[in-house]
Amino acid sequence: MRSDEFYMYRALDQAHLALEADEVPVGAVVVDADGMIIGEGYNAPVSSLDPSGHAEIRALRDAASRSGNYRLDGCSLFVSLEPCLMCIGAIVHARIARLVYGATEPKTGMVESRANLVAQPWHNHRVRVEGGVLASRSSRLLRCFFDERRAT
């Protein structure tokens, strides 16, 4: 199995695709138990006219389609930004075993910043979490994107 940093770099590759599409640069990949990337996604709610078009959702959909199962047991999700409320719900329902994220999201992050939704006792599935992997790279990419938007 490759390192968390390896897979986070792949998620950041997806974030750069979002940036090229003039979307908020967030990217995600789903990795199976054998270390293979089986799903990829980047933020595209604006261009896809889809409010659920977050990187995590798109990566989960891609992985489910490729694997032929909406339950992604034993898989890990690597995402460049702490997931929101909607994405945490999808992560739990997909039965993701492990969530690894980069930067925290102080306004809407639902793993540590605003709440810890993955640890709630009412969920029928537990997700292991690791935050802060390549956080400075993820943060820098987002900061540059928003600085540029504010300047224009």
- What pLDDT digit, counting tens, does each position of 35-63 carry? 999 999 999 999 999 999 999 999 999 99
Q: Which residues carry out catalysis?
A: 56
- What pLDDT digit, counting tens, does each position of 3-26 carry? 999 999 999 999 999 999 999 999
> pTM score, two decimals?
0.96
The reply, when asked if residue 123 is annotated as ligand binding, is no
- 3-class SS string, the chain: CCCHHHHHHHHHHHHHHHHHCCCCCCEEEEECCCCCEEEEEECCCCCCCCCCCCHHHHHHHHHHHHHCCCCCCCCEEEEEECCCHHHHHHHHHCCCCEEEEEECCCCCCCCCCCCCHHHCCCCCCCCEEECCCCHHHHHHHHHHHHHHHHHC
Share of the chain above pLDDT 90, in %: 93
Superfamily of structural domain 4-151 = Cytidine Deaminase, domain 2 (3.40.140.10)
The reply, when asked if residue 75 is annotated as ligand binding, is no
pLDDT for residue 123: 87
